[in-house]
Amino acid sequence: MTSGTRSREIHCSGCGQDALVRAEPVYEGFRKVGEVYCCTTCGKQYASESETPFLSKIGHPQVFTEADRPAAPSIFSDDERQRSCGWCRHMVVNPFGQRCGVKNRFTEATDLCEHFEKKAERI
Ligand SMILES: [Zn+2]
Protein backbone atom coordinates (compact mmCIF):
# COMPACT_ATOMS: atom_id res chain seq x y z
CA MET A 1 0.00 0.00 0.00
CA THR A 2 1.16 3.46 -0.82
CA SER A 3 0.01 6.50 1.04
CA GLY A 4 -1.48 9.65 -0.42
CA THR A 5 -4.13 9.55 -3.11
CA ARG A 6 -4.56 5.82 -3.18
CA SER A 7 -7.74 4.36 -4.57
CA ARG A 8 -9.90 2.19 -2.43
CA GLU A 9 -12.63 -0.24 -3.22
CA ILE A 10 -16.25 0.40 -2.37
CA HIS A 11 -19.52 -1.33 -2.92
CA CYS A 12 -21.22 1.58 -4.57
CA SER A 13 -24.83 2.27 -3.67
CA GLY A 14 -25.17 4.31 -6.85
CA CYS A 15 -24.30 1.69 -9.46
CA GLY A 16 -24.38 -1.40 -7.25
CA GLN A 17 -20.88 -2.42 -8.34
CA ASP A 18 -17.68 -3.15 -6.49
CA ALA A 19 -15.79 -0.14 -7.75
CA LEU A 20 -12.77 2.00 -6.99
CA VAL A 21 -13.37 5.24 -5.20
CA ARG A 22 -11.33 8.39 -5.63
CA ALA A 23 -10.86 10.90 -2.86
CA GLU A 24 -11.20 14.50 -3.98
CA PRO A 25 -10.32 17.42 -1.76
CA VAL A 26 -13.00 19.97 -0.98
CA TYR A 27 -11.89 23.59 -0.65
CA GLU A 28 -13.58 26.45 1.06
CA GLY A 29 -11.76 29.40 -0.37
CA PHE A 30 -8.11 28.33 -0.21
CA ARG A 31 -8.58 26.08 2.77
CA LYS A 32 -9.05 22.38 2.39
CA VAL A 33 -12.05 21.48 4.52
CA GLY A 34 -12.42 17.84 3.73
CA GLU A 35 -12.69 15.21 1.09
CA VAL A 36 -15.50 13.78 -0.95
CA TYR A 37 -15.32 10.25 -2.26
CA CYS A 38 -16.24 9.71 -5.85
CA CYS A 39 -17.17 6.38 -7.47
CA THR A 40 -14.96 5.90 -10.51
CA THR A 41 -17.61 3.77 -12.21
CA CYS A 42 -20.73 5.93 -12.02
CA GLY A 43 -19.46 9.16 -10.49
CA LYS A 44 -21.61 9.07 -7.38
CA GLN A 45 -20.19 11.26 -4.64
CA TYR A 46 -20.06 10.49 -0.95
CA ALA A 47 -19.79 13.55 1.24
CA SER A 48 -17.51 12.03 3.86
CA GLU A 49 -15.41 8.98 4.60
CA SER A 50 -17.98 7.67 7.08
CA GLU A 51 -20.66 7.71 4.38
CA THR A 52 -18.51 5.88 1.87
CA PRO A 53 -19.24 2.13 1.69
CA PHE A 54 -15.63 0.91 1.67
CA LEU A 55 -15.35 -2.82 1.10
CA SER A 56 -12.86 -3.09 3.94
CA LYS A 57 -15.47 -1.58 6.25
CA ILE A 58 -18.28 -3.97 5.33
CA GLY A 59 -16.19 -7.09 5.80
CA HIS A 60 -15.60 -7.92 2.17
CA PRO A 61 -12.70 -10.34 1.72
CA GLN A 62 -9.39 -8.66 0.96
CA VAL A 63 -7.75 -9.19 -2.40
CA PHE A 64 -4.75 -10.96 -0.90
CA THR A 65 -5.45 -13.66 1.63
CA GLU A 66 -3.56 -16.35 3.50
CA ALA A 67 -4.18 -18.68 0.54
CA ASP A 68 -1.90 -16.55 -1.64
CA ARG A 69 1.14 -17.28 0.47
CA PRO A 70 3.38 -20.02 -0.90
CA ALA A 71 2.86 -23.34 0.77
CA ALA A 72 5.51 -24.32 3.27
CA PRO A 73 7.92 -26.86 1.80
CA SER A 74 7.31 -30.38 3.09
CA ILE A 75 10.74 -31.68 2.04
CA PHE A 76 12.16 -31.72 5.56
CA SER A 77 9.49 -33.84 7.16
CA ASP A 78 9.68 -36.29 4.25
CA ASP A 79 13.45 -36.51 4.63
CA GLU A 80 13.07 -37.26 8.29
CA ARG A 81 10.57 -40.00 7.65
CA GLN A 82 12.85 -41.60 5.06
CA ARG A 83 15.66 -42.14 7.56
CA SER A 84 13.87 -45.23 8.85
CA CYS A 85 14.96 -48.81 8.13
CA GLY A 86 12.26 -49.21 5.49
CA TRP A 87 14.24 -46.81 3.30
CA CYS A 88 17.71 -48.17 4.16
CA ARG A 89 19.78 -50.15 1.69
CA HIS A 90 20.92 -52.46 4.53
CA MET A 91 17.39 -53.65 5.07
CA VAL A 92 17.10 -57.35 4.24
CA VAL A 93 13.59 -58.66 3.69
CA ASN A 94 13.02 -62.45 3.69
CA PRO A 95 10.06 -64.73 4.44
CA PHE A 96 10.96 -64.83 8.16
CA GLY A 97 10.95 -61.13 8.66
CA GLN A 98 12.97 -58.09 7.93
CA ARG A 99 16.50 -57.69 9.19
CA CYS A 100 19.08 -54.95 9.38
CA GLY A 101 22.09 -56.13 7.35
CA VAL A 102 24.51 -54.08 9.45
CA LYS A 103 23.48 -55.03 12.96
CA ASN A 104 22.05 -58.41 11.88
CA ARG A 105 18.95 -58.03 13.98
CA PHE A 106 15.28 -57.99 13.24
CA THR A 107 13.91 -54.56 12.68
CA GLU A 108 10.79 -52.68 11.83
CA ALA A 109 10.44 -50.62 8.68
CA THR A 110 9.81 -47.58 10.85
CA ASP A 111 12.89 -48.01 13.06
CA LEU A 112 15.55 -45.35 13.01
CA CYS A 113 19.13 -46.60 12.76
CA GLU A 114 22.54 -44.95 13.06
CA HIS A 115 23.78 -47.05 10.13
CA PHE A 116 21.13 -45.65 7.86
CA GLU A 117 22.07 -45.32 4.21
CA LYS A 118 19.32 -44.52 1.82
CA LYS A 119 18.75 -47.16 -0.80
CA ALA A 120 18.42 -46.36 -4.47
CA GLU A 121 15.01 -45.22 -5.59
CA ARG A 122 12.81 -48.03 -6.76
CA ILE A 123 11.63 -47.69 -10.33
ZN1 LIG B 1 -20.93 3.77 -8.55
Number of folded domains that form the chain: 2
H/E run at residue 61:
none
Question: From the CA of 63, how far away is ligand 1's center (Å)?
Answer: 19
User: Does 46 map to a domain?
Assistant: yes
pTM to 2 decimals?
0.41
pLDDT of residue 74: 53
User: Does 123 map to a domain?
Assistant: no
pLDDT digits (tens, 9 = 90+) for 45-93: 999 888 999 988 765 455 555 555 666 555 555 566 677 888 888 888 8
> Is residue 88 located within the same domain as residue 48?
no
pLDDT of residue 116: 83
> Is residue 53 located within the same domain as residue 92?
no
pLDDT of residue 76: 52
> Is residue 54 located within the same domain as residue 18?
yes
> Is residue 83 located within the same domain as residue 54?
no
CA dihedral (24, 26, 31, 34) in degrees, to 10, reads -80
Please state the rounded mean pLDDT for residues 13-30: 94
Q: What's the helix, strand, coil split of the chain in %, to 5?
A: 15, 35, 55
The range of the structural domain enclosing residue 81 comes to: 75-106
pLDDT digits (tens, 9 = 90+) for 105-116: 888 878 887 888
Question: From the CA of 43, how far away is ligand 1's center (Å)?
Answer: 6
User: Does 65 map to a domain?
Assistant: no
DSSP category for residue 90: T
> Is residue 26 located within the same domain as residue 50?
yes
